[in-house]
Structure 1
């Protein structure tokens, strides 16, 4: 990997990271001064483990809905295609420790849910692919390693 690529995560050496972790992956400044902070929220060790799609899908729905109860700065929560984590984008919110708090509170909320929000054919593009229990297990595993979230590299 000698030449720098356009996609930030393609320049990250995935063999050197140690999941779970949360890292600031980039900041984009808008033409009117707004800033988008993109976080790499890595649940699984790249190339060693991954989240099963129904659990990942449900966790995405849950985090997308519940995170907004803790901050109006959440722009988007996007699952990674490699199924190892999520990208979370925040607008004008440069406080890493507060982001960790928002993430922690959101995942604690996941643990007490009785249903996956918008888990129906009208509101979801693949409503048959969900697992509330799988999402809760992912949240439990990630929360159990809370002390390690800021340590990205082994």
Structure 2
């Protein structure tokens, strides 16, 4: 059986940052990695859930909002996936998505009020939402993005021993 794209990346090399996980025509999947995989430092359920509500709402109301296909957490609790459609059949500009991501994180950090969708009517686990955890998670990841040279490329070799940075075999 063919591996899915995320299983071809050697997770031993991934550090917090923003990566292009895959491109499918005009849709790009961005990996917003907030934690080092397999380190034991996981995003708590309350934080990941609260960030999902806040980020999804703000990004869908941003300049790229009409092109956002999906935003949601990774099951491994180390980050999020953001799927964005490009324009005129072309993939989205990664720098534009990075700018929108940073602006979205800023809005979460400075948000006044409670978590969007925090009611029994709007959410299946609304008691789990916590604005302070969303703000802390947003501040943490914003700091990562502002202090990292974001190249959108995963570091290290792929799981099948192909060097992502050069496209050839790992040494």
Name the TM-score, length of structure 1 as normaliser. 0.88
Deviation >2 Å, runs of 4+: 151-154
Shift of 1:141: 0.9
Q: Is 2:4 the partner of 1:7?
A: yes
Q: Is 2:58 the partner of 1:58?
A: no
Q: CA RMSD in A?
A: 1.6
Provide the aligned length of Structure 1 versus Structure 2.
145
Matched ranges for 1:105-124 at <5 A: 105-113=103-111, 114-124=113-123
Structure of larger gyration radius: 2
Q: Write the distance in 2 (CA, Å) between the matches of 1:69 and 1:119.
A: 18
Tell me the secondary structure at the aligned position of residue 6 of structure 1: coil
* Residues 149 and 138 (structure 1), Cα distance of their counterparts in 2 relative to 1, 3 Å cut: farther
Q: Structure 1: which 5+ runs fail to align?
A: 30-34
Determine the structure 2 residue equivalent to 1:96. 94
Q: Write the distance in 2 (CA, Å) between the matches of 1:66 and 1:15.
A: 32
Determine the structure 2 residue equivalent to 1:86. 80
Deviations 1:7-37 (A, max 9, x none): 1111110001111x111111113xxxxx211
